[in-house]
Amino acid sequence: MSIVDNRKAFHDYFIEERFEAGIVLEGWEVKSIRAGHVQLKEAYVIARNGEVFLFGSHISPLSTASTHITPDPVRTRKLLLKGEEIKKLKAKVDRSGYTMVPLNLHFQRGRVKCEIGLAKGKKQHDKRDTEKQRDTQREIQAAMKQNRR
């Protein structure tokens, strides 16, 4: 069950590979995510010292959040991956010029998971080609729908 998708990532990058990671969250963050108060638009992923972190994701605190803590909506969150996966990601980013971007947040067996994509940046002409293909597909679907009637 998807919570939020990072549409900007699909617009700006070619997604080559996908990985699923757990996220280290605080209690108020889980409640906010369940309420849908999360944004991945400006988020990115970095690997440092054998660990992977999610930067720039914004989780808005609920008004009913606890009074004894001060919530930080854009704090750095640790992502949980296996050691082999972290090494593979780091090697591809360092050698091949890939970027790691968060693609979506979703629930899996009651836990919040983050899907990470190994991505290559699109050039401006690639973005225009993608838009043209999308428009063509939309026109084809509309024409097929019109013919059925």
**Residue ranges in the chain whose pLDDT is less than 70:** 65-67
Q: Are 15 and 7 in contact (CB under 8 A)?
A: no
Question: How far is the first Cα of the chain from the last one, in angstroms, to the nearest whole number?
Answer: 34
The pLDDT, as a whole number, for residue 66 is 64
Distance CA 45, CA 54 (A): 5
Residue 6: left (phi > 0), alpha (psi -120 to 50), or beta? beta
The pLDDT, as a whole number, for residue 80 is 92
The pLDDT, as a whole number, for residue 53 is 93
The pLDDT, as a whole number, for residue 65 is 67
Using CA atoms, how far residue 6 sits from 60, 102, 142, in Å, is 17, 7, 26
